[in-house]
Chain A
Amino acid sequence: MWTELFPNVIWEKIWEATIETLYMTGVSVIATFILGTILGLLLFLTSKGNIWENRLINAVIASFVNIFRSIPFIILIILLIPFTNLMVGTILGANAALPALIIGAAPFYARMVEIALREIDKGVIEAAKAMGAKTTTIIFKVLIPESLPALVSGITVTAIALVGYTAMAGVVGAGGLGNLAYLEGFQRNHNDVTFVATVLILIIVFVIQFVGDFVTSKIDKR
C-alpha cells in the first residue's frame, strides 16, 4: 500500500533526512539556549537601573543582536560561508548548517530572554540584594528560576523557528528534510516525497510545541 501511495519515496532516505533535521535542530537549540541566555542576561543586566548598568556594552550587544536579527536567514547562510568554512572545514552537510542556525537564532532568543527577565518583579531582585546576595547568586537563584517558564516557552518558539531554518538551510545543501523535499521532491516533481517530508516536519513542530507547553505548565507555580 505504502509503495502505491508514495511510489518515489525511499524510506531509508527519509529516515536519514529526519535524523539530520533532528540533529541540526537539537544541536542548534542547545547552543542557541546557552548563547541566547548569556546575551539576554547581558542585555538585561547592563540596561538602565540594573546591576551592571553600562550604556556602552548594552549598546554594543543590542546592535549586534539587532543586526543579526534583521538579516534574512537565507542571506545569512551565504554571508557566513567563509566563517563556516573556517569553523567546520566544509560548507556542505548538517554540521555546516550549524553556525548559521545558531547565529541566526541566538539573537532572536536573546531578545526573548531579555523580555522574560524584565517581567521579573523588581522587588524580588531588591529583596535578594537586601539579603546580601552576590550577583551570581541573583542570576542563578533569582533571575533564571523566576523567569524559567518564559525562558522555556521562548526556546519552544525558537526551536520551531529553527526547524523552519533547517529546511531553508537544506536548500543550500545542509541535508535534512528540507533538502530532501527540495531536491528529491520539488525539483524532480515527486510530490509524494515533498508531502512526506512536510508531514514529518509538521510532526516535529507539533511534538516540540507539546513538550514545550507541558514543561512550561509544570514549572510555572505562579
Chain B
Amino acid sequence: MITLSNVTKIYKAKSGNVTAVDNISLQIQEGEIFGIIGYSGAGKSSLIRLLNGLEKPTSGKVLVSGRDMGAIKGKELRQARQEIGMIFQHFNLLWSRTVRENIAFPLEIAGVPKEERMKRVDELIQLVGLEGRENAYPSQLSGGQKQRVGIARALANNPKVLLCDEATSALDPQTTDAILDLLVDINRRLGLTIVLITHEMHVIRKICDRVAVMENGKIVELGEVLQVFRKPQQPITKRFVQQVTEPEETKETIEHLLNKYPNGKVVQLTFVGEAAEQPLITNLIRQFDLNINILQGKISQTHHGSYGVLFVHMDGDEAEIDRAIDYIRQQQVEAEVMAGVD
C-alpha cells in the first residue's frame, strides 16, 4: 500500500541544513494500523507529511497506492490527496462552518453534487456518532467531538489511507480511548490502512499492528507491537515501553524496598501472551525454598494479546534464587535482575 525507499528530507535553514528524515525505507501493508513513535523533533511529522505530498522528499521515492507522491503535481496530486484522509492534533476544523458543513468540505472539493453530499454527510455523522450535533459550530464542541468531526471529514471521500498526526495528543485519557476505539472500528469496517504518529506508547499498545520507533530522522526499531514490547532493543524503545508498563513511581518503590530488604534480589518478570495466564508465582513458591514478595505488577492489553510486567523480591539462598530464575526463563517468561544487594 505504502512504500518508502531511501527517503530523505532535508530542510535548508540559515543555521545549517536539518535532516528531518534520514534515508528511511519502509513498507506498510494494506489494512494495517501502523504506528510511528518518537519524541518531538524525531522527524515523524515530516515523515507523515511526505505520505500525502504536503512535503516533498529531498531524495528517495514515496509510493502510496502506486502513486509517486514526490513526483506528481497539480491535478494529479490533488486527486491523490482526496484518497488519503488526514486528521490532526488540533483538529484543524473551519470555525466558520457547522459540523455538517465541515464534513461536507472535502466533498465540495471533490465536486460531489449537493444532494449526494448531504446523504454522505449524514452517513458519516452516524459513523462517528455525532447525531444531534450536525448544526453545532466547532466552538460548541468538546475536544473528542471535534476529533470525531475531523475523522468524519477525513473519511468523506472514501480514502484508502488515513493519516493521523498526533490525533489524540490533545485529548484526555478517556476521550483518547474512545477515539482509538473508533479508529479500530473504522479500520475493521472499511479495511482502511491507518498510519499514525504519536509520542504516546499507550496509543501504539492499544491499536497498532506494527510500530516503528524514530529517532533523529531514522527508524531505529521496527516490528510487531507485541514483539517490540517483549524485547525492546534500543534504549529509546525501552523508555517508550516503560511508559505503559512501569508506572512512574516504580523506580522509587524498588529503591525503597532494596533499602528495606538488603538481602535477595529484585527481579522484573515480563510475560507475553499465554505466559501471562500461568500460575507462575504459585509454582515458584511450591518448588523453591524462597520468600517471594510481589512489589508491583501490571498487565497491558495490546491489539494482539496481553503483556504483563511483575516486579518481585526474592529472598533466600543465592543458589536457590538463581535456580528459580532459570526455572522462570524456561516458562517463556523474561526475567531480569534489577539490582542485587550482595
Contact = CB atoms under 8 A, between A and B. Distances in A.
Contact of B105 (A126, A131, A222): A131
Interface in A138-153: 141-142, 145-146, 148
A123 B92 contact: yes
B93 A124 contact: yes
Nearest to A145: B96
Contacts of B106: 131-132
A127 B92 contact: yes
B281 interface: no
A1 interface: no
A137 interface: yes
The secondary-structure label for the interface of chain B is mixed
B94 interface: yes
Contacts, number: 66
Interface in A205-222: 219, 221-222
A133 interface: yes
Contacts of B105: 128, 131, 141
A55 interface: no
A133 B78 contact: yes
A124 B79 contact: no
A221 to B, nearest CB: 4
Contacts of A126: 54, 88, 92
Q: Number of contact residues on A: which range applies?
A: 20 to 34
Given A145-B96, A146-B94, A146-B95, A134 B78 contact: yes
B108 interface: yes
A132 B79 contact: yes
B92 A131 contact: no
B82 A131 contact: yes
Interface string B144-163: 00000000010001000001
A131 B95 contact: no
A222 B95 contact: yes
Nearest to B81: A132
B137 interface: yes
Interface string A55-79: 0000000000000000000000000
A131 B139 contact: no
A141 B108 contact: yes
A127 B97 CA distance: 14
A130 B81 contact: yes
Interface centre among B88, B95, B106, B110 (most CB of A within 10 A): B95
Contacts of A123: 88, 90, 92
B261 to A, nearest CB: 53
B245 interface: no
A12 interface: no
Given A130-B86, A132-B110, 10 more contacts: A124-B92, A124-B93, A126-B92, A127-B86, A131-B106, A132-B109, A137-B108, A145-B94, A146-B94, A221-B96
Interface of A: 121, 123-124, 126-134, 137, 141-142, 145-146, 148, 219, 221-222
19 contacts: A123-B88, A124-B93, A124-B94, A126-B54, A127-B86, A129-B54, A129-B81, A130-B52, A130-B81, A131-B81, A131-B106, A132-B79, A132-B82, A132-B110, A133-B78, A133-B109, A134-B78, A145-B96, A222-B139
